[in-house]
């Protein structure tokens, strides 16, 4: 079995070298790019397992690129950026990134975060890719939600991780700490905010009443419960 492929997009040669050395020493395959156009061209040929993306790119808006990757690619997206403000981290996670690492960083931590992403439910290729629940069908291989009338709505990789977590544990309480452990994010306010945003977006895509959701219930002070009936195929 081939080793997971990690792509690195950063315009700083030294950052690319440090990340490449650390990841390859840990047993991963890598590809590195200094420009977004080269990076996106490569994605047309192969889908990596994890994308490491800097936000300060010379030829595109890094946040816009992260959002496109989250909606269109099957890879997890980890931002590595010198932007250390809480709002920058929150914005990146809200746009669909799976994790956010600030510069300067410890290469050992980056490797650990990559491994955490690869252990997450969405990264396990043996899992079922289609789930039916309460008139909806979720296609995890295509990032699509389809209602009974055939109308399709895309969801991001990060939203898909949360949805899969709910669908694999219907009618069971899922705490914030369990979500953090399962999804591999860094605990803290930015992770909690990102989860709130992703759950809110999932509710909207499922046509839920935000004041009285039927499927994804908030149990204040405890976590969430998914109340649907789920069938995997």
Q: What is the phi/psi pair of residue 53, to 5°?
A: -130, 125
The answer, yes or no, to whether residue 122 has pLDDT greater than 60, is: no
Question: Residue 189: its pLDDT value, please?
Answer: 65
Verdict on whether the full-model pTM lies above 0.85 = no
Identify the CA nearest to 75 among candidates 93, 92, 107, 53. 53
Between 21 and 195, where is the model more confident?
21
How do residues 128-181 score in pLDDT, each as one tens digit? 789 999 999 999 888 899 999 999 998 887 888 899 999 999 999 998 888 877
CB count, 10 Å around CB of 171?
Answer: 10
pLDDT-based confidence at residue 126 (cuts at 50, 70, 90)? very low
* d(C-alpha 51, C-alpha 34), whole Å: 13
Q: Per residue in 13-37, pLDDT tens?
A: 999 999 999 999 999 999 999 999 9
């Amino acid at each position: 079995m081939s080793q997971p492929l990690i792509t690195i997009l950063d315009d700083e040669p030294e950052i690319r070298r440090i990340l490449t050395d650390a990841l390859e020493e840990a047993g991963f395959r890598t590809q590195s790019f200094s420009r977004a156009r080269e990076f996106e061209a490569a994605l047309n040929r192969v889908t990596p397992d994890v994308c490491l993306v800097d936000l300060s790119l010379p030829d595109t808006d890094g946040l816009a690129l992260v959002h496109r990757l989250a909606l269109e690619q099957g890879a997890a997206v980890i931002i590595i950026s010198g932007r250390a403000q809480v709002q920058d981290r929150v914005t990146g996670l809200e746009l669909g990134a799976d994790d956010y690492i600030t510069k300067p960083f410890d290469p050992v931590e980056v490797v650990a975060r990559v491994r955490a992403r690869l252990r997450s439910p969405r990264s396990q290729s043996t899992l079922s890719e289609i789930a039916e629940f309460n008139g909806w069908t979720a296609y995890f291989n295509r990032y699509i939600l389809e209602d009974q009338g055939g109308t399709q709505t895309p969801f991001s990789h990060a939203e898909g991780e949360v949805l899969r977590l709910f669908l694999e544990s219907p009618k069971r309480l899922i705490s914030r700490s369990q979500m953090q452990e399962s999804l591999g994010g860094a605990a803290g306010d930015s992770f909690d905010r990102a989860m709130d945003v992703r759950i809110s977006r999932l509710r909207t895509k499922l046509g839920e009443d935000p004041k009285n959701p039927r499927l994804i219930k908030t149990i204040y002070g405890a976590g969430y419960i998914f109340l649907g009936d789920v069938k995997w195929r």
